[in-house]
Structure 1
């Protein structure tokens, strides 16, 4: 039985027993992505509508037959047996039940909910956003959902690494998260904790001020009260004393 690896993060790719298959165009990539995201048989008309929403029924059905032929040919040219991966009949198409196939998105979804070591594996899975270069509507929704999950994972991994004493690794994760979402308050707070862990009091103040400015400018809000309380505690301020503004202390801004 052939083994298959489907990678959907970044460009859609298929390996057959370790050999790359040339998928032969974006429609074949999109069909493989659609089948891999929802394993099991799917009605042909549902697949055709998802891939060619503007086409009429006969035209989209013909396009689906041609694209399936291209996908099967790609498996064959890579030395595999198409029927070991794909199960197609006149009504439905799907990945074959029991096929020896791994899908990076499925592994990501499972590992991101696991313990720290599993979360590290999930982070390594996420090479880039889902199915780069493909723009079907069904992919756009799933791409955004997985992007949000990736950002949540970066936050968890940053905390995992900090608690394990890997401060450099934690900073790498939280900095990546802030590049993706500079409005994420918990990411700023995690970076503040990292500065505190190495005794960088001035950087704690700078990062808090940077967060306050970004949230005020882009959202019109102040940091949450619990965020300010934690930063005040990190700085050793008396209870109920607010974190001072940098201007009042004569400090200048620096980039994270």
Structure 2
């Protein structure tokens, strides 16, 4: 009898970027709303005690009802299949074999910020937002944490690609950072730095001017002197 390659074993994947999706290999796994939120919580927080998980996911009901809802969600997730959620004592966590795209994004972002290599360029930095449309209170912090980590990674990625002469990819990273947070000066500085490296002074000046006007309209302030000093003097006088 031949051995089964690990490459042939379907992988349970939890996607939280762009939309919620749970797949087992190529097959989508349908779970209820309560189970989705439990999986999302454990996918982002990695683990939690039953009391904390129940109180976080069902904050508007009694503790007894919250624990009952948690037990029901766990039963629905683990019935008739390999467990998706495991418990050790009072602590819950995702089963070891479940991959989570948001965790992969965090690891990629941290690698970009502090790691030595960029090959391949981590595509997950350009993935969708974290569970758009979900308004759970606990998710607001996780969404902001991931957003800030991604922004720092995209800025770092843009400059490191610029140093390597990979201008198109550097510009893409910088513009993605601008898309996520249009008022973030560091992202706009990266865009201008790429344009100047390519000797596209006109585009650099136009981008600076658009950002200057945006800051003036939205916040009533001007770009920093460090940003202004990157450009020829006409950037300050030409409207």
- TM class by shorter-chain length? 0.7 to 0.9
Q: How many residues align?
A: 227
* C-alpha distance in structure 2 between counterparts of 1:210 and 1:183, whole Å: 11
SS in 1 for 2:182: coil
For residues 132 and 183 of structure 2, what CA distance do their matches in structure 1 show? 25
Whether the aligned pair in 2 keeps the contact of 1:5 and 1:14 (CA below 8 Å) is yes
Contact 2:23–2:29 (Cα < 8 Å) also in 1? no
CA contact (8 A) 2:12 2:97 kept: yes
User: Contact 1:119–1:157 at 8 Å: present in 2 too?
Assistant: no
How far has the Cα of 1:52 moved from its partner? 0.9
The SS at the match of 1:35 is: helix
1:188–1:52 distance in 2 versus 1, CA, 3 Å: same
> TM-score scaled to structure 1, two decimals?
0.77
User: Rg larger in 1 or in 2?
Assistant: 1
- The C-alpha deviation readout for 1:9-60, integer Å capped at 9, x for no partner, is 22233333x24342322211110111222234x3222111111100112221
2:46 and 2:93 in contact (8 A); partners too: yes
Number of the residue aligned with 2:18:
10
Of residues 125-134 and 107-116 in structure 1, the stretch that sits farther from structure 2 once superposed is 125-134
2:54 matched residue in structure 1: 48
Check 1:13–1:143 CA distance in 2 against 1; reply closer, same or farther (3 A cut). Answer: same
- In 2: Cα distance, 1:186 partner to 1:43 partner: 39
Give the 3-state SS of the residue equivalent to 2:31 in structure 1: coil
Matches within 5 A, 1:87-166: 87-88=86-87, 91-96=90-95, 99-114=96-111, 115=115, 116-117=117-118, 120-121=121-122, 123-124=123-124, 127-166=127-166
**Alignment partner of 1:100: what SS?**
coil
| Cα distance change on mapping 1:223 and 1:184 into 2, 3 Å | same
After TM superposition, the structure 1 = structure 2 runs for residues 58-77 of structure 1, keeping only pairs within 5 Å, are 58-73=64-79, 76=80
Q: Is residue 2:185 matched to residue 1:185?
A: yes
Name the counterpart of 2:199.
199
Distance 1:25 1:245 in 2: 59
Contact 1:8-1:130 within 8 A present in 2 as well: yes
| 8 Å CA contact retained: 2:77, 2:85 | no
Q: 1:215/1:189 Cα in 2 relative to 1: closer, same or farther (>3 Å)? A: same
Mapping 1:206-221, distance limit 5 Å: 206-221=206-221
Conserved? CA contact 1:215–1:221, under 8 Å: yes
Q: Which 5+ residue runs of structure 2 have no aligned equivalent?
A: 1-8
How many angstroms apart in 1 are the aligned matches of 2:106 and 2:88?
A: 30
| CA spacing shift, 1:89–1:158, aligned 2, 3 Å | closer
Q: CA–CA distance in 2 between the matches of 1:196 and 1:217?
A: 26
- Unaligned runs of at least 5 residues, structure 1: 248-256
Following TM superposition, by how much is the alpha carbon of 1:185 offset from its aligned partner in structure 2, in angstroms? 1.4
Distance 1:12 1:118, change over 3 A: farther
